Structure 1
Amino acid sequence: MQPEVVAVAYRGRWEESRHYGSIAVVDGEGNLLYSRGDPERLTFLRSAAKPFQALPVVTTGAYDAFGFTLDELAVMCASHSGEDMHVARVLSVLHKIGLDEASLQCGVHTPFHKPTARRLRRAGEPIGPARNACSGKHAAMLALCRHRGWDTAGYLELGHPVQQLMLRTVAELTGYPAEAIRTGRDTCGVPVFAVPLRNMAWGYARLAGAGGPAGEQRRGIALIQEAMARYPELIAGTERYTTALLKTANGALVAKDGAEASFGVGSIPAGIGVAVKIEDGSDRALAPVVTEVLAELSLLDEGALQALSPFRSYAIKTWGGLTAGRLEAVPFFK
């Protein structure tokens, strides 16, 4: 199977560009319900794995041992915009585990939130690693190291116990053997994991509570669901699609974007998981495609769809503000 056209950019009335991609929808047992393109496409989850990677914070007992809170758990799942609300939670996690910002090995980049970046630049304030979009995930890994007594210096490496725990957790949730998972290195320095798209969707079905999680895993999943529902602004940030989606879903969905245009969604009421991969890695097609899929699966009500309309289809503008075209997803399952 090959990727299919999932979104089209129009210039005036005429088709100008096409985005190809694949979609997989599975139930709690991993059975494929719907697909477009190639549901077996090997896909790096990238940051869409973060909710999976936050789960051991609960299952190992670190969440209780350090007295973490739901907002701190939310930022552990985040690809945040580097706003002050994000940094405050990351620093709080580090303080609770007896470390500081210097312990983060995620590197430094300008905050995604442009007003914050402008403010810091005007004030001459240095940008530290806590502003990195992945600092919450790194803080979670450091918390696991402190809880288990593992060395924090080498936590980026695949052979480190915390990264082996990440690998096993992704394997368990996605139902894909750890030895078959392909690995690489993310932009923030830690290992990333690739599984077939349908297995990524299965992981999100399980994150939605489908498939009968038990014990501490059940509790961890419930806490992650609650953290995403109560603190959607911490999962991404101001005017970001993932935050808007979680906010409008009102606790019915777990959802997370990943770099190079991957996206995972779990429907808690329906007990199904959805995974999307845009072949060219372009984020401009991701929100329209994800929203269209959720609309066709009736996983969003009319109010939510109305609130997400700016992301479902958007105008292509000239520099002078005139409408030159539009970008929209194609129908998938209708």
Structure 2
Amino acid sequence: MAKVSDGAVPVMEVWRGGLLECVHQAHAVICDAKGVVAAWGNPQAVIFPRSSAKMMQALPLLETGAADARGLSQAHLALACASHRGAHVHVDLAGRWLADLGLGESDLRCGAHEPGDLTERNRLVEAHEKPCQLHNNCSGKHSGFLTVTQHLKAGPEYVEIDHPLQKAVRLATEEVTGETVAGWGVDGCSAPNFAMTVEGLARAMAKYATAREGHGAREDAMFRLTRAMAAHPHLISGEGETCTELMRAMDGRVAIKGGAEAVYVAIVPEKGFGIALKVVDGGYRASEAAVTALLAKIGVLDPAHPAAVKRMAGVQRNWRGLETGFYRMADGFPG
């Protein structure tokens, strides 16, 4: 079992005063239906996919028939895959979803945190309100979990590892990655997160990219989730965020999703490609730059688009606006 640091390669550099100040290292894999197309670093490095696994965690929502039984819209499916900013649009949709189930915020098991969206955060402060679990960036995923749990008539503690829902998620994860999970940990939202190789994660995303309607429940589910994400980029993260901006820049042709500790995946149906990457030190600026560079390399993102330019290279400035250095992609990535 390869450690996350084994064989990583430089992907991004930060310079100050003419000296190299920081180097971010990573693993990245591009797969198609047949296997690995290109790789940097060690494809067998074992990682926690964190929130980049949400499309796999949402498979039971469709495969059990729970989504259709409840008449969920494409927007609901997108929110189930989201790591959102807790803006009004996110909180409102999650709240109405739970109400339609006859449930409430207290039925969630994700915990509460301040919203990343400044407008909503300011509203809470001015109204002397505390954030609730609907503001949690995973409240859409958990609303999906509750939909399946209710459909299966299972117990309310749906984040427990031996709950029928999590057993279904684990089975689906192993089937789409093509490997036995390497272990599991508890994610920030309290749900189990199953470890896998970077290659396994890319292989799974390639299956989403090549899924077609009318070819069984699994392919139907993958097809619908991918299209839902691409059609509703504002629900996947939020205004100003990388997932939202890059999906808009690609006009809904690609679905991308980040995860905590600098994991990123992309689903590219027109190429039949799945992309997965992990920056070893957990640096978000590097994971955002790396996924942008890979999307540009395979020809689905214009490297001159403002959303791409600001992530792959730029000037660093201090609080007085003085230029202090710059950042850029490392030589050879993506070569």
| TM-score, length basis structure 2 | 0.94
**1:247 aligned residue:** 248
Unaligned runs of 5+ in 1: none
Amino acid at match of 1:261: A
Give the match for residue 136 of structure 2: 132
Alpha-carbon contact 1:285-1:328 (below 8 Å) kept: no
SS in 2 for 1:308: helix
What's the counterpart of residue 158 of structure 1?
161
- Once residues 127 and 229 of structure 1 are traced to their aligned partners in structure 2, the CA distance between those partners, rounded to angstroms, is 28
Partner residue of 1:322?
322
Moved more, 4-13 or 228-237: 4-13
8 Å CA contact 2:86, 2:116 repeated in 1: yes
Change in CA separation of 1:212 and 1:13 when aligned onto 2, cut-off 3 Å: farther
SS of 1:208 mapped into structure 2 = helix
1:284 aligns with 2:288: no
Question: By how many angstroms is 1:222 displaced?
Answer: 2.2
Q: Deviations over 1:195-242 (max 9, x none)?
A: 110110011111112599931222222221221122100000110001
Q: Are 2:102 and 1:94 equivalent residues in the alignment?
A: no
Aligned to 1:56: 60
Contact 1:9–1:18 (8 Å) recurs in 2? yes
State how far apart, in whole Å, the 2-side matches of 1:51 and 1:301 are: 26
* Aligned AA (1:231): H
| 2:16 pairs with 1:16 | no
Task: Give a deviation string over 1:237-294, Cα, whole Å, max 9, x none.
Answer: 1100011111112222121100000001111111011111000011121111111122
Contact 1:3 1:37 in 2 (8 A): yes
* 1:125 CA displacement: 1.8
Q: Distance in 2 between matches of 1:236 and 1:74?
A: 10
1:78 aligns with 2:82: yes
CA 1:317/1:302 → structure 2, altered by over 3 Å: closer, same or farther?
closer
Identify which range, 222-231 or 267-276, moves more after superposition. Answer: 222-231
Checking the alignment, whether the CA contact within 8 Å between 1:157 and 1:190 is kept in structure 2 is yes
Aligned to 1:217: 218
Could you say what secondary structure the match of 1:2 adopts? coil
Instruction: Tell me how far 1:14 sits from its aligned partner.
Output: 2.4
Indicate the residue corresponding to 2:183 in structure 1: 182
Question: CA–CA distance in 1 between the matches of 2:10 and 2:124?
Answer: 41
Identity value in percent: 33
> Would the aligned equivalents of 2:60 and 2:165 in 1 still touch at CA under 8 Å?
no
In 2, Cα distance between equivalents of 1:302 and 1:61: 40
The change in CA–CA distance for 1:133 and 1:95 in structure 2 (over 3 A counts) is same
TM-score (norm. length: structure 1) = 0.94
> Residue 169 of structure 1 aligns with which residue?
172
Aligned to 1:3: 8
SS in 2 for 1:144: helix
| Counterpart among 47, 65, 69 of residue 69 in structure 2 | 65
Counterpart Cα distance in 2 of 1:147 and 1:39: 37
Q: CA deviation at 1:83?
A: 0.4
In structure 2, C-alpha distance between the alignment counterparts of 1:135 and 1:104, rounded to whole Å: 8
How many Å separate the matches in 2 of 1:184 and 1:273?
Answer: 24
CA distance in 1, matches of 2:8, 2:59: 31
The equivalent of 2:39 in structure 1 is 35
Please say if 1:26 is aligned against 2:38.
no
* Match in the other structure for 2:227: 226
How many equivalent pairs are there? 329
Q: Does the Cα contact within 8 Å between 1:204 and 1:254 map onto a contact in 2? A: no
Give distance in 2, aligned partners of 1:212 and 1:181: 31
Instruction: Give the Cα–Cα distance (whole angstroms) in 2 for the partners of residues 213 and 195 of structure 1.
Output: 29
Q: 1:115 maps to what in 2?
A: 119
Equivalent residue for 2:3?
Answer: none
Partner of 1:198: 199
Structure 2 counterpart of 1:297: 298
2:162 maps to amino acid: G
CA distance in 1, matches of 2:271, 2:36: 14
The two structures, once aligned, show a CA RMSD in angstroms of 1.7
Task: In structure 1, give the amino acid aligned to 2:159.
Answer: L
The question of whether the paired residues in 2 share the 8 Å contact of 1:285 and 1:327 is answered with no
Distance (Å, rounded) in 1 between the aligned partners of 2:170 and 2:227: 24
